[in-house]
A and B are shown apart, each in its own frame.
Chain A
Amino acid sequence: MGQMSAVTEKVLKEFIRDKMVLLWTFAVPVFFLLIVPFIDAGNMPTEVMPGLKAFATIAMITLLIMTACQANLAGSIASDTQRGLYLKMTSMPVKAWKEGVGRFLGILIFSLLGTVLLAFLGFSYGAQFTLNPVTLVESSIFLMLICFASTGMGLTIASFVKGESAATHTGVALSLLTFFCGGMAVPYAALPSALQVFARIHPISSANAAIAFLLVGESFAGYNPLSISQTSLTTAISIAIFAVGLTLYSEYCWKKN
C-alpha cells in the first residue's frame, strides 16, 4: 500500500502544480460548458435549457476525465520515461502493477476533483439533474467505467508513444475524437448511423450516455444505454481496455524502457 500511495501522491502533486495541466484539463471543459448550451439557443424552448445544461455538464465531465487520463497521464508517463525514472524503479524492489495502480488512483482522485468542480459549476449555472440515491450510485459506477477505460487508453498510448509532447497530443486527439464522434458534442440522434454504432460500442461514450440517461432523461441519451446487453458491453470493454493498458504499461514502460 505504501508504494501505491507514494505514486498516487506524486501523480496528484505533479498534476496540481503544473499550471498547463490545470489550464487544459479544467479550462477547456469549463469554457465549453459555459458556451455550448447557448449555441443555437434561440430555437430552444426555455424549459429544455436546464436539461441541456445538465447534459453539457455531464459531457464536459467526461471530456475532463478523458483529457486527464488519456492526455495528461500519457504525457506524465512519457516524461518519466524520458527522465530515466523507469530505469531507476526497475532497479528497486517495486512491482510494476503496483506502480501502475498507484498512477490510476492518482489520476482518479484528480478526475474526481474536476468532476466535483464541474458539477458545482453546472448546478450554479442552472443545470437540472434527476438526483436520488439510486441514480447517484449508478452514475458513479458509470463514471468509474469512464475512468477505467480512459486510463487504459492513456496507459496504452504511453506504452507506444515515448515523447512527452507526442503522447499528450495523441491523448488530446483521441479525447476530442471520442467527444465529437461519440454523442457528447452533438446528441446521439443527430449522429450518422455509423457513428451511432461507434457511440454504442465505445465504452466512454456509452457510459456517458448512461449517466445522461440516469441524471437527465432518456431523450438526452437517444437510446437505452442501461439495457443488460449494453451495460454488459460497456462494463466488459472498459475493464478490458484497463487490463490491456496496465499489461502493456508493465511490459513496454517497465521491461522494455
Chain B
Amino acid sequence: MKFCDTELDAPLNRADRFSLQTREKGIMMNAIAANGLQKSFGDVEALRGVNLRVDDGEFYALMGPNGSGKTTLVSILASVITPTSGKAEIFGRKPQEARNMIGFVPQGSFSSPMLTGRENLVYFAQLFGYSKNEAEKIASEQLLKMGLSEAADRLVSDYSGGMRKKLEVATALFPEVRLLILDEPSTGLDPSARKNFLGMIEEVNSTGVTVLCVTHIGEDAEIASKVGFMDEGVIIAEDKPEMLKRNSGLEKVLHAETSIKKEAIANVLVEYSDDRRILETEKGYRICCNNPEEAIPDISRQLDRLGCKLLRIETSNPSLEDVFYKLTDKSVRRV
C-alpha cells in the first residue's frame, strides 16, 4: 500500500497544520468529544445521554445490536442530524463547522451506478469544494491508493461489493479529512472481501486519520484500538478489545451445533453454562463454559437421550460478541 509514502511526500494540508499546531502547543486534542448526547424521535428515545471521547489518531469501534442507537450517534457526529440535548465536538468544533474534516460513509451504497469510479470520486471531490482540476488529481490518487486504478473507468454498476465499498471510503478520504466515520461498512461483504476491506481501513488509520467504525460484527471490532459497547441508547462499556475480554471473566466459549433446536435442548446446555445463560445462534447454541473438557461428554450423552445429535461441538476463546452478550444478555447479531 502506498498510503504512508504518499502522505509523507505530500505538502501539509490545512488539517495537518491544524493538528501540528495543537500538538506543538501541547494540547491533547480529542477527535470526538460528546457529552450527554440525547436524541428523541417522537416518543422514542434513541440516545439517552451518551458520553464519548475518541483521541486523535485512534481507531474506535462501536458495537451494539440493532436499535441500540449507534447510527443515531454517528449521524449526530457526522452532522447529519442534531441532538435533542447534549454537546458534540469534532476536533474542538461543532460537527456542522467541522464538515471539511469529516469523511462519512453511511450504510447502503450511495455511489452512482451510472457513473464510473473515477467520475464518482470527481463528483464527490467537487461537492467537497475542490475545483475540477484538483478533483481529478485527487480522484486519480485515491483510485491508486484503493487499488482501483484498473477499474477506474468502469461503471460502478459493474463493481463487486468490496470494490464499491472501497470506492465509497475513498469518497470520504479527501486530504483535509481527519476523521473517518463508517456505519456498518462490511455488511454484505464476503469474508475475503471483508478482510481485505478491514486491512485497508487499518492502513488509513495508520496514516493518522481517526476512525470511528460502527459494527455488529465482533471480528471487525477486534482490529480497533478501543471498542465501545452500546445498548439502549448509552455506551455501557469501553476499553481495548483485549481488556474487555480479560475483564469479562470469560475463559472459554462452547459452540454446539445440534440436529434440532428446541427448548429442551437449550435447557440441557444451559446447565453447563457458567452464568446460566445461553445464546441461540444460526446453527445451534453458544454458552460460556470454563471446563469444556468435562462438560462435552456429558452434554453429548444427555442430548443423545433426547434424540438430538450433536453435529459439531467446539470451544474457543471468547469473542467481543460473547463479552457483549455477557454484559447485556443480548446478541449483537440478529438471530
Q: Which residues of A contact B (CB under 8 A)?
A: 2-3, 5-7, 9-10, 13-14, 17-18, 80, 82-85, 87-94, 99
Contact = CB atoms under 8 A, between A and B. Distances in A.
Which secondary structure dominates chain A's binding surface? helix
Contacts, number: 81
Given A14-B115, A18-B114, A83 B123 contact: no
B109 A6 contact: no
A10 B109 contact: no
A73 to B, nearest CB: 15
A9 B102 CA distance: 25
Contacts of B129: 2-3, 93
Interface string B111-124: 11011000100111
Given A3-B127, A6-B127, A93-B100, A17 B114 contact: yes
B78 interface: yes
A25 to B, nearest CB: 15
A97 to B, nearest CB: 14
B109 A83 contact: yes
Contacts of B155: 17
B101 to A, nearest CB: 10
Given A3-B126, A5-B126, A94-B127, A87 B115 contact: no
A10 B123 contact: yes
Contacts of B18: none
A254 to B, nearest CB: 10
24 contacts: A2-B131, A2-B135, A6-B122, A6-B132, A10-B112, A10-B115, A13-B114, A13-B115, A14-B115, A17-B114, A17-B155, A18-B114, A80-B112, A83-B110, A83-B111, A84-B106, A84-B110, A87-B110, A88-B104, A88-B171, A89-B127, A90-B79, A90-B80, A92-B127
A115 to B, nearest CB: 23
Contacts of B128: 92-93
B259 interface: no
Contacts of A84: 106-110
A3 B123 CA distance: 8
Given A88-B104, A91-B99, A93-B99, A6 B126 contact: yes
B75 to A, nearest CB: 8
B130 interface: yes
